[in-house]
Amino acid sequence: MNKLIIIFLIAVAAVFASCSKNEPLNPEDSQYVYVCTSNSAKTYHTDRNCSRLKNCGQEVLEVTRKKARENERIICSDCDKRDKKSDKDTAK
């Protein structure tokens, strides 16, 4: 009987572990953002038409926010302000 309980618990743990691998921890991680491939670029953009992104002299790639962060990119201050304003407006 104890063996059955242990096997059941291991099976339940395995199911939960496999489910969590397929879902991002942070829903924003799967959001697509834009990065300039220039060596000097340090930010990512949530708006493809951001004026700062238009200054990119290299290719612009669409990647997940998670991938941008893994590559040590931080959010563009203009995009961040725009996003926060948009969130505030939607909350009204």
Pairing of strands 74-75, 32-36: unpaired
Domain ranges of the chain: 26-91
Q: Which of 77, 30, 38, 29 is nearest to 61 (CA)?
A: 38
The pLDDT tens digits for 5-18 are: 666 557 656 555 55
pLDDT digits (tens, 9 = 90+) for 34-80: 999 999 999 999 999 999 999 999 999 999 999 999 999 999 999 99
